[in-house]
Structure 1
Amino acid sequence: MTDSQPETQNWNELVEQWNEQFFEAVEQNMEAQAEFVESWSEAVGEATDGNDLSEGIEGCARAYETWMNASQQMVDRLNDLVEGEDVELEEFRDVWLNTANEAFKELMSTTAFARMTGETVGDVLELQQQADETAETTLRTLGFATESDVVEVGDRIVELERRQHAVEGKLDRVLEALEETETES
């Protein structure tokens, strides 16, 4: 019987350690989510006007409520687990995944989010254009062909082909006319 006591003690330590790690992970997750909602709320406040701001705050409040409901679900399921109920680990993952989807849907459906996304996309496109211009200037300075050089050469080739076809057409008409005059004589 003394052999089973160390195994039980090791098992208890392992379960206790697992529980501590799990609760720490849940706590860190909740803190991260709260920080996200708070920072997003601040960003919305800085980037929007009065109407958008109130709608953005309502979206944040709905998202925060979604996270709090998920936290309560987690606590309830953990209590069920402690009481001996069979709880699948996938349930915990599913709660957080579904909650993340719902919370982001609440945030993304606001006019404030749409405005901020539009401004961000505009800023990114502007930065991309500046980066492209800088790259083209650098390549040109180093003596390499740039995208605009290649496009220009392509355009010139297409124009030359168009002119060639026009000249060939005129030449064919001239040859036909000469043949007709030879056959008539």
Structure 2
Amino acid sequence: MTDSSADVQNWNAMVERWNEQFLEAIEGNMEAQAQFVESWADAVGEATDDGEMAEGVEGYARAYDAWMTASTQMAERMNDVLEGEDVELEEFRDIWLNTANEAFKEVMSTTAFAKMTGETVGDVLEAQQQADEAAETTLRSLGFATESDVLEVGDRLVELERRQHAVEEKLDRVLEALEE
């Protein structure tokens, strides 16, 4: 095998590897966009107000623009690689990570997303309260002290200490009066 044919094979292998990496990057981009659209749809789907819906759509449009800008950057950097420039793989990763942060920020700053998040937090708190009530009922039926039982005992102890202190003060006054 001549040096020329070895160089061609090395070049072909390198270009093939670049093509594979580029296709993987595009596939990753599509997956990230699909996840983004799904999360956006969940956030905006809860919005009933037309204003909230419009704001949600605008947030999505800004996020979509961020993804398209990242795609352009990726294509430009891939061209740079094909022209022989040394481009670190971390640069490709950073483009997608920064874009994901920017895109999610655009969606998360909308009223629709805030409303959905608030409703979710409310649902979680309600579920937690129901779980606490169920746990207390179960503990009580098994004969164990519950949190409310312990709090009641604590309140009673504080009241007893207050009364004891009042009785001690009265007793001190009676003893002082007897000593005079």
Structure 1 Cα separation of the partners of residues 96 and 70 of structure 2? 7
Alignment of 1:87-102 (within 5 A): 87-102=87-102
**Unaligned 5+ runs, structure 2:** none
CA displacement at 1:32 relative to structure 2: 2.2
Q: Which residue of the partner structure matches residue 79 of structure 2?
A: 79
2:41 corresponds to 1:26: no
2:158 corresponds to 1:129: no
Q: Assess if the C-alpha contact under 8 Å between 1:63 and 1:106 holds in 2.
A: yes
Q: Which residue of the partner structure matches residue 151 of structure 2?
A: 151
RMSD of aligned Cα (Å): 2.7
TM-score (norm 1): 0.83
Structure 1 Cα separation of the partners of residues 134 and 43 of structure 2? 32
Structure 1 Cα separation of the partners of residues 77 and 177 of structure 2? 94
Alignment of 1:155-166 (within 5 A): 155-166=155-166
Q: Secondary structure at the match of 1:171?
A: helix
Q: Assess if the C-alpha contact under 8 Å between 1:37 and 1:60 holds in 2.
A: no
Change over 3 Å in CA distance of 1:145–1:86 after alignment to 2: same
Alignment of 1:49-64 (within 5 A): 49-64=49-64
2:75 corresponds to 1:68: no
Structure 1 Cα separation of the partners of residues 141 and 9 of structure 2? 73
**Unaligned 5+ runs, structure 1:** 181-185
Change over 3 Å in CA distance of 1:9–1:138 after alignment to 2: farther
Q: Assess if the C-alpha contact under 8 Å between 1:37 and 1:64 holds in 2.
A: no
CA displacement at 1:41 relative to structure 2: 3.8
Change over 3 Å in CA distance of 1:51–1:9 after alignment to 2: same
Q: Which residue of the partner structure matches residue 106 of structure 2?
A: 106
Q: Secondary structure at the match of 2:57?
A: helix
Q: Assess if the C-alpha contact under 8 Å between 1:33 and 1:67 holds in 2.
A: no
Q: Assess if the C-alpha contact under 8 Å between 2:40 and 2:107 holds in 1.
A: no
CA displacement at 1:38 relative to structure 2: 2.3
- How big is each residue's C-alpha offset from its partner over 1:12-55, in whole Å with a ceiling of 9 and x where there is no partner? 658845752x3354233212222123223432443111110000
Change over 3 Å in CA distance of 1:175–1:66 after alignment to 2: same
TM-score (norm 2): 0.85
Letter in 1 for 2:121: V
Q: Assess if the C-alpha contact under 8 Å between 1:59 and 1:107 holds in 2.
A: yes
Letter in 2 for 1:53: M
Change over 3 Å in CA distance of 1:168–1:67 after alignment to 2: same
Does 1 or 2 have the higher relative contact order (CA < 8 Å, sep 6+)? 2
Q: Assess if the C-alpha contact under 8 Å between 2:22 and 2:78 holds in 1.
A: no
Instruction: Give the share of equivalent positions with the same residue, in percent.
Output: 68
